[in-house]
Amino acid sequence: MSHAADRHTTLDEYWDIVKKTFSSEVEAYSFYNKYASDKGFSVRRQKVRRAKRSGALLFRHFLCSREGQRDAKWLDKEVCSRRPRALTRCDCQAKLGIKLDRSRGVWYVQNFVDEHNHRLATQDEVPFLWSHRKMKDFQKTEIMAMEAVGIRTHVIMDVLQCKYGGYGEVGIIRKDAYNFSSRYKRSRIANGDAMAVLGLMQSRQKDDPDFCYDYKMDAAGHLKTMFWCDSQSRMDYQSFGDVVIFDSTYRMNRYKMPFVPFVGMNHHRSTTVFGCGIVSDEHKTNTYSV
């Protein structure tokens, strides 16, 4: 018998689950997710039913993450801008359905299916399944602290791996750390907007005396245009600046301001960046004193 088969639900365990009650939908999800972790699969929320007048939750289905099939329109796409994701859904029928008993104010199990049509993950693989990859608050604090002193995200993951005694013990994957880092940086900029950007430029200038930037703001204190380049870019321009190409990525940010990189080609025929800018109006020419 395989290791996965050993973790199938016994009859006694099945009836224990069927007779369970929960104080809330959140408690039921936590229970089923912990059960899924022990068995070797991932969970997602799906089918829900609410009261017509109050909108209160009355019924909820928790499913195996491999339930269903990918929409045919994504399979038949001839031209894809990104590499297609691996197929993970195989119409697995495993689920836990709970319903609210409004007279008692408790949730009870209405439907429980524990038949999987795919291989269950080993305990070494479980930490990498989606519903079990949860970044804890203290890990967020650790990542923010290390980023504040200039440690790169891929190095932060190596530090966490050493600290917790293995990649599987961290509880998140490298992609989760990059996503959190990106959201954190965007939130810091959003809170201070233009002033946060200017503060970042001033900090860069302290670390790199040849780093230069210039900007213009309107009467309301909104950033209209900005240009910046570091010491390496300035040296590259002196050596390879005979031909300069620029192109605006049209309004690809939340502020609707085109991003304009100035690039050329070095002696290895590789693209090199001479400077970058953001503008609020592509039809106006701006002169910078850098």
- pLDDT tens for 93-125 read 999 999 999 899 999 999 999 999 999 998 888
- Better-scored residue on pLDDT, 144 or 33: 33
What are the C-alpha distances in Å from 276 to residues 96, 191, 207, 252? 53, 23, 19, 15
* pTM score of the predicted model: 0.57
CB 264 within 8 A of CB 237: yes
Q: Taking 70 as the threshold, does the pLDDT of residue 64 lie above it? A: yes
pLDDT at residue 193 tops 70 = no
Q: Stretch 180-201: mean pLDDT, rounded?
A: 72
Give pLDDT, residue 75: 62
pLDDT of residue 280 exceeding 90: no
Mean pLDDT of all residues in the chain?
81
User: What mean pLDDT is predicted for residues 194-207?
Assistant: 81
**What is the rounded CA–CA span in Å between residue 59 and residue 99?**
4
Distance CA 257, CA 250 (A): 8
3-state secondary structure the chain: CCHHHHCCCCHHHHHHHHCCEECCHHHHHHHHHHHHHHHCCCEEEEEEEECCCCCCEEEEEEEECCCCCCCHHHHCCCCCCCCCCCCCCCCCCCEEEEEEECCCCEEEEEEEECCCCCCCCCCCCHHHCHHHCCCCHHHHHHHHHHHHCCCCHHHHHHHHHHHHCCHHHHCCCHHHHHHHHHHHHHHHHHHHHHHHHHHHHHHHHHHCCCCEEEEEECCCCCEEEEEEECHHHHHHHHHHCCCCEECCECCCCCCCCCEEEEEEECCCCCEEEEEEEEECCCCCCCCCCC
| Higher pLDDT pick, 71 / 89 | 89
Whole-number pLDDT of residue 191? 52
Averaged pLDDT for residues 260-289 = 77
Residue 139 has pLDDT above 70, yes or no: yes
pLDDT computed for residue 144 by the predictor: 85
> Are the beta carbons of 229 and 210 closer than 8 angstroms?
no
The answer to whether residues 160 and 170 touch, using CB atoms and an 8 Å cutoff, is yes
pLDDT at 2 over 50: no
pLDDT at 223: 76
| Residue 250 vs residue 24, higher pLDDT | 24
Instruction: Give the pLDDT confidence score for residue 62 in this predicted structure.
Output: 95
Give CA–CA dist 79/83, Å, rounded: 10
pLDDT higher than 50, residue 290? no
Query: 74 pLDDT exceeds 70?
Result: no
Among the residue ranges 55-59, 122-126, 187-191, the one predicted with the least confidence is 187-191
Question: Are 209 and 186 spatial neighbours (Cβ–Cβ below 8 Å)?
Answer: no
Residue 34 has pLDDT above 70, yes or no: yes
Q: What is the mean pLDDT of residues 152-173?
A: 82
Tokens of 194: 């233009």
Residue 165 tokens, joined: 């005694």
Q: What percent of the chain has pLDDT over 70?
A: 82
What is the rounded CA–CA span in Å between residue 17 and residue 62?
A: 14
Q: Specify burial of residue 229 (Cβ count, 10 A radius: 0-12, 13-18, 19+).
A: buried
Label residue 256 by pLDDT band (50, 70, 90): low
* Nearest residue to 171 (alpha-carbon basis) of 183, 157, 153, 186: 157
pLDDT of residue 21: 95
